[in-house]
Structure 1
Amino acid sequence: MPDLSHLTAVRESYDTVAAAYVGRVPPPTGLDPVSRRMLDAFAELAAGAARLGPVADVGCGPGKVTAYLAERGVADVFGVDLSPAMVRQARRAYPELPFVVGSMTALPVADRALGGVLAYYSTHHTPPEALPVVFGEFRRALAPGGHLMLAGHVGDGEVVRPTEAYGGLPVSYASYLLPPGRIGDLLERAGFVVDARLTQEAGEGSGEGSRRRYGTFLARTPG
């Protein structure tokens, strides 16, 4: 089992910045058109596979993307986040939706219980050697024919270790900016069929993250 000690730094950092994060990170309606369309495509796929089970927004933060999926027709959606402070923010903002504290390394669901998994800018804090654990967990939780969307920062293998974020608040996590091809390979090794992959260059997106490249993957479990 790979070292999962990074989870402590991620949890503590996002507990610290949770309130500031809500005000600084835009909802999906404020994203660039391409990113928004990719989310819409996933919502359509997940809604069409509703018979397979609910959709988990893994690393949901304050719930803005979870709520967006619900507005786009994903009737049975819930959020999971490692940070209790983030989950409190989500529950306060969207009391009609369920949010739970949990880790993407051990999702609180049975095998093959989900029709969809969204990991939206939530896996880049995972060291490369631990990604097979995370992707394997997504694979375990998804029903045959279930859909996965993974989006996040990508790069050429560099590691970014900020000491502050979201208005100068202290953080201790790292961001691992892997090449898109490596992420795609890891998804396929975990048993996914990758149907689409998109790379957006720095400056194409919106918000603070536009200084970095983005990668988005739409994948599914074999039916």
Structure 2
Amino acid sequence: MSWRVTEPSPSLAATADAYDAVAVRYAAFARNELDALPLDRAVLAAFADLARSTTAGPVAELGCGPGRVAAHLRDLGLDVFGVDLSPVMVDLAREAYPGIRFEVGSMDALDLADGTLSGIVSWYSVIHAPPRDLPAYFAEFRRVLASGGHLVLAFFESEGGPVTAFDHAVATAYRWPVDGLAELAGEAGFVEIGRMLREPLPGERHRRGHLLMRADERPG
């Protein structure tokens, strides 16, 4: 598999630069975070069970950061690889998890053939995308997923309010109403299977949202 070498948009380049700058500290902070998040692990376990039922190909973690979620998915028995916009994050992921393939790339322009993935995990990776750009991300996710493949989205939930920008620790991010995000993904060809909302834990500022979705059959 090869990857496109494209010039990122100014917003994507700024996000990549911001994560490059904090990558070492971020990786150390996030490495064992799932250990204290049983509900989040339950979502990933449900996704893994569903992804194993689709035999089209591997699972991709898009926006994989330092690789800890991809490693968790591997430990759940999935054939997984990771893609991230930040070269420093990818280097750290490769160093920490040498048995998993990690590549630099943008999740809105994947060098993958149509329908080649069994599943996609987007774990807080579309949070920095301006709302106007999300339809293109979801269209790309749908393109590379096999019909019947599964997508899991983790994001910051707006607690019933509208889409809201906030001062994320790394770069500007957006909180989404769960219904609004589900509707937007539905317009790209995804069917909701389930959702999980959890209240912020100590040290967290915002409610966390999780959507589990299936790629609908392609027309024709």
Match among 55, 78, 93 for residue 96 of structure 2: 93
Task: Please point out which of 200, 208, 213 is paired with 1:214.
Answer: 208
For 1:4 and 1:184, the matched residues in 2 are separated by 26
Partners in 1 of 2:152 and 2:28 — Cα distance? 25
User: What is the RMSD computed on CA atoms of the aligned residues?
Assistant: 1.6
Distance 1:45 1:31, change over 3 A: farther
Aligned 8 A contact 2:94 2:101 in 1: yes
Aligned CA distance change for structure 1 residues 211 and 126 (closer, same or farther; 3 Å) = same
| Contact 1:121–1:151 (8 Å) recurs in 2 | yes
**Does structure 2 retain, via aligned residues, the 8 Å contact 1:44–1:73?**
no
| Counterpart-to-counterpart distance in 1, 2:167 and 2:37 | 26
Classify the secondary structure of the residue corresponding to 1:211. coil
Contact residue 51 and residue 118 of structure 2 kept, 8 A? yes
Select which of 47, 63, 66 maps to 2:67.
63
Q: What is the distance in 2 between the residues matched to 1:18 and 1:113?
A: 30
Query: How far is 1:5 from its partner?
Result: 3.1
How does the TM-score come out when normalised to structure 1?
Answer: 0.88
Query: Is residue 109 of structure 1 aligned with residue 109 of structure 2?
Result: no
User: Does residue 158 in structure 1 map to residue 173 in structure 2?
Assistant: no
Q: Deviations over 1:13-37 (max 9, x none)?
A: 0110110011111435423211111
Q: Is the 8 A contact 1:46 1:55 kept in 2?
A: yes
Q: TM-score, normalised by structure 2?
A: 0.89
Q: How does 1:167-186 map to 2 (within 5 A)?
A: 171=170, 173-186=171-184
Structure 1 residue runs of 4 or more that deviate by more than 2 Å after TM superposition: 26-29
Kept in 2: contact 1:60–1:66 (CA 8 A): yes
CA distance in 1, matches of 2:194, 2:60: 20
Unaligned runs of 5+ in 1: 166-170
* Letter of the 2:43 counterpart: M
State the alpha-carbon separation in 2 of the partners of residues 202 and 91 from structure 1.
31
- Give the total of aligned pairs: 207
Give percent identity, aligned residues only: 44
After TM superposition, give the deviation of residue 9 of structure 1 in Å: 1.4
Instruction: Indicate the residue corresponding to 1:138 in structure 2.
Output: 141
Are 1:83 and 2:86 an aligned pair?
Answer: yes
- How far, CA to CA, are the matches of 1:140 and 1:199 in structure 2? 27
User: Which AA in structure 1 matches 2:165?
Assistant: V
Q: 1:25 is aligned with what amino acid? A: A
Gaps of 5+ in 2: 1-7
CA distance 1:69–1:7, change in 2 (3 Å): same
Match of 2:195 in 1: 197
1:119–1:151 CA contact under 8 A, matched in 2: yes
C-alpha deviation, 1:4, in angstroms? 4.7
